[in-house]
Amino acid sequence: MPTRFCFLILSSLLLVPDAPRACAQGSPYRFDVQHHRIELQLYAPHIIRIRVSPDSTIPTTPSLSVIAVPAHVESAATEKGDTLVISTREMTVRINRMNGELRFSDK
């Protein structure tokens, strides 16, 4: 089966050199970006929710479009040069620190 790729470019956002932060298993990965915050929340090994806020915090207002509940998903976060890599057993997300590009691929 061919690998599928989805590219999402966050224009004009550059990641600052902070490492990814995740509190406990099931907690979101948070990245500080120039005047923005990016949050990656795992809902399943193949589902990830991305939220971006122009403030240093992500709003806590409940979403009307996302009704699922975040789950405990085994994941690993590593750094490879200018790229942060978050992996689950079914997908990998690569975040380029230089241009803010997010790349998704299945395994």
Tell which wins on pLDDT, 78 or 10: 78
pTM for this predicted structure: 0.68
> What pLDDT does residue 47 have?
93
- pLDDT reading at 44 higher than 70: yes
* Residues forming a β-bridge with 21: 30
pLDDT at residue 25, rounded to an integer: 57
Higher pLDDT pick, 35 / 1: 35
pLDDT band at 106 (very low <50, low <70, confident <90, very high): very high
The distance in angstroms from the start CA to the end CA of the chain is 10
Region 81-104: mean pLDDT is: 86
